[in-house]
Amino acid sequence: MSSDWILQPRDPLVVRDGRPNAGRSESATLAFPHPSTLAGAVRTRTGSGEAGFVMSANLPELLQISIRGPLLVDLTDARDPWRLPAPRDALVTVSGTSWRVSRLAPTPLGGEVAVDPAFPSDLELVSLSENTRGKPALEAPTFWPWAELERWLVDPASFEGVDAKPRLSSGLSKLTREARTHVSVDSKAGTAREGMLFSVTGLRLPSARFRSKTAGVDVHAQGLWISTEIPVSLGRSLQPGVGPLGGERRLASWSKSELSLPGPPPALKASLSRPGRTRVRVILSTPAIFSAGWRPAPEGELLRTRPECQVTLISALMPRPESISGWDFAKNRPKASRRLVPSGSVYWLELDGTGAGKLSWLSEVWLRNVSDSEQDRRDGFGLAVVGAGQS
């Protein structure tokens, strides 16, 4: 049973970065919640009743619940509410008062090119498609409006030579971080303990549109979109209302979503409908986990051979990895730390097959989780969109 949801944190959302608090009085936060945070919240809420969590003996069944997301949505923008992570193959630089977007793309290595021996010999090197003198735009959005991301997926060349600032102005540079200072209270005396101060930093998602007097801009209402798939065999469903999300048991409202996910661009489908070899880009909308670190497994969801479609990895582009851990409540111990491929990372693939085979591949990858492990896919890691890939 599938359903889509909008989550709006009432208070700053605490999603800690995993660093221990020993020796410091504050907890840092991630820039955006990991999918596993939302997956855990969905499973906890599904397995809870009026008496609290009632499915401790059914944890394996709860792990069968799968999610997609989270994706950031602008609840004030009815025309284009989706805000997806900026693609890493788009370099936004400053040119006077304008922004210029330069494209990074794979370049075949010549026989006389010397590269680090650790660089995979079967992949092409990623480089800028044109020279640029501008410095990176520090205020460039880290979340792009869907209309512009779709344009980038289909035709990156349309950004060349134009000011991208008006196009990307409705994007979001980052979520607002808000720090709150607390005191430790003596339970017997009911008073604050001397010197026992600590602070917690969270992500503030505005719940309503308002005018910021300090910044002089309109602040839009924001939320987190997720899609859930709950097996019918569980005999339970997710209910709307208010419940905890993230650390410190901060509250969030859970409401059904009527938003429709965007489909593949028609121009992309048209190019894939022709038989032969076609290059595409796969851009991650949520972080991914692959068994070989940054590289997807040949037999994994992204690269496995499908009927009438052979898939080959051409190149990849990503920043330094992110780390994830957590607490295993079933085993009462910390989870092992793992590395994530950050959202916005790009994989260039070559599809070779019939038009029907390539379109079938597209339907299995478009806004689906493509991490190698089935459980990681259930946890929401590796949500992907696909764009045209120029040679």
Shared domain for 318 and 229, answered yes or no, is no
Cα dihedral 242, 368, 37, 169, rounded to 10, equals -80
Q: Is 40 helix (H, G, I), strand (E, B) or coil?
A: helix
For residue 127, CA distances in Å to 95, 101, 109, 315, 390 come to 20, 14, 11, 11, 13
Residue 149, in any domain of the structure: no
Residue 54, in any domain of the structure: yes
The Cα–Cα gap between 248 and 229 comes to 26
Residue 141, in any domain of the structure: no
Residue 218, in any domain of the structure: yes
Out of 256, 289, 321, pick the residue that ends a domain: 256
Any residues with CB less than 8 A from the CB of 17 and at least 6 apart, and which? 28, 29, 30
Residue 230 is predicted with a pLDDT of: 97
Taking 50 as the pLDDT cut, the residues of the chain under it are 25, 211, 215, 391
Shared domain for 70 and 193, answered yes or no, is yes
Q: CATH number, domain at 335?
A: 2.60.40.4350
Note the maximum CA span of the chain.
77
Q: How many CB atoms lie within 10 A of CB 27?
A: 19
pLDDT tens digits, one per residue of 224-253: 999 999 999 999 999 999 999 998 889 999
Q: How many CB atoms lie within 10 A of CB 114?
A: 6
Shared domain for 247 and 270, answered yes or no, is no
Shared domain for 339 and 373, answered yes or no, is yes
Q: CA angle 17-39-242, nearest 5°?
A: 95
Shared domain for 226 and 361, answered yes or no, is no
Shared domain for 252 and 190, answered yes or no, is yes
Count of the separate structural domains present in the chain: 2
Range of the domain at 246: 2-77+174-256
Shared domain for 283 and 347, answered yes or no, is yes
Residue 391 is predicted with a pLDDT of: 46
Q: Is 291 helix (H, G, I), strand (E, B) or coil?
A: coil
Q: List strands edge to edge, sheet with 276-284.
A: 309-317, 346-353, 276-284, 384-388
For tokens 């980038």, what's the residue? 152
pLDDT tens digits, one per residue of 309-363: 999 999 999 999 999 988 887 888 988 999 999 999 999 999 999 999 999 999 9
Residue 97, in any domain of the structure: no
The Cα–Cα gap between 190 and 185 comes to 6
Residue 318 is predicted with a pLDDT of: 97
For tokens 């010999």, what's the residue? 121
Residue 85, in any domain of the structure: no
The DSSP secondary-structure symbol of 120 reads: -
Yes or no: say if 175 and 205 are a contact pair by the CB < 8 Å rule: yes
363, two tokens: 């339907």
The Cα–Cα gap between 224 and 75 comes to 10
| Predicted structure pTM score | 0.92
CA-closest candidate to residue 177, choices 22, 316, 28: 28
